[in-house]
A and B are shown apart, each in its own frame.
Chain A
Amino acid sequence: MILLEAFSTPVNYFPILIQLVLAIGFVIVMMGATHLLGPKRKTTDKLENFECGIEQEGNARQPLAVKYFLVAILFVLFDVEVIFFYPYAINFRELGWNGFIAVVMFVAFFILGFTYIIKKGALNWED
């Protein structure tokens, strides 16, 4: 037990830190080097956004359809629900029937909500 605790102290994340520093450092060095060493020729064409050689038209930032938002919000809701299953799945045996009943109730609400949005047509992409 003591060994295990010693094994999982914050110090053990030190290699990750080193890796992080190396990764960020590599990017900074490479980008800085190309900027400093490379030749610079600035023309208006070069500063345009690259769109396969075709001249760009209008603004890419147009208002999005509300549908994307609905799908995103449903995604987050079900995301949260799924997270609650994970601790149950780990302890499936220990929790026994009581835990099973609790989860079944949770799943029932979950499934009902899912049926509801399907029936309501919230996931139909085309009108």
Chain B
Amino acid sequence: MNGANILFYLLAAMILGSGLLAVTTRQLFRAAIYLLFSLIGMAGMYFWLQYEFIAAVQVVVYVGGITVLIIFSIFLTQQAGEKMLVKKTGQQIFAAIAAFCGFALVMVQIVQNNFTATKNLSLSPSVTNIGNQMLGVDKGGYALPFEVVSILLLAALIGSIVIALRTPTQTS
């Protein structure tokens, strides 16, 4: 057990522990905060894997953006202090079984599969390489998905305007 392993297990414990708390707590706001910690743990995991750029994206978008959005929407919709109703035992058992089956299915496959190491050197995930790949126009470059993403974001932008912008007649 070396330092790297210890770090990995610490991060995994953080992700899983706060994830578990997020789904079991009965206070919605706390669930959001636990989710925040889980996402920070994910960012830590990316750092551990040396994917610095992905880790930074994780922090900027998920920790900085999405969680704030979730907290805003909790404040927007309901009394954040109130506890949520406890689900029926039947539902809880069914949810647990379903989650376990999904987990078991994927886990068994991953454990069974023997991943062969590639002969060629893996590309280092530095920002330089990411940039070259993302904007490359030759075969294997991701310029087309890059442009498609901009259309996707634009569609989401219109959607947010249509749904969330108050139209002039609806004055409260």
Contacts and interface: CB of A to CB of B under 8 A. Distances in A.
Contacts, number: 149
Interface stretch (A28-36, A38-46, A47-55, A102-110): A102-110
A99 interface: yes
A120 B161 contact: yes
Interface string B7-37: 1101000000000000000000000000000
Interface string B106-143: 00000000000000000000011011101101000001
A68 B3 contact: no
A90 B128 contact: yes
Main secondary structure of the interface of A (DSSP, over half): helix
B131 A87 contact: yes
Given A11-B4, A88-B135, A91-B135, A102 B157 contact: no
A70 B161 CA distance: 8
- Give the size category of A's interface with B: 35 or more
Contacts of A70: 160-161, 164-165
Interface of A: 8-11, 13-14, 17, 59, 61, 63-64, 66-70, 72-77, 79-81, 83-84, 86-88, 90-91, 94-95, 98-99, 102-103, 105-106, 109-110, 112-113, 116-117, 120-122, 127
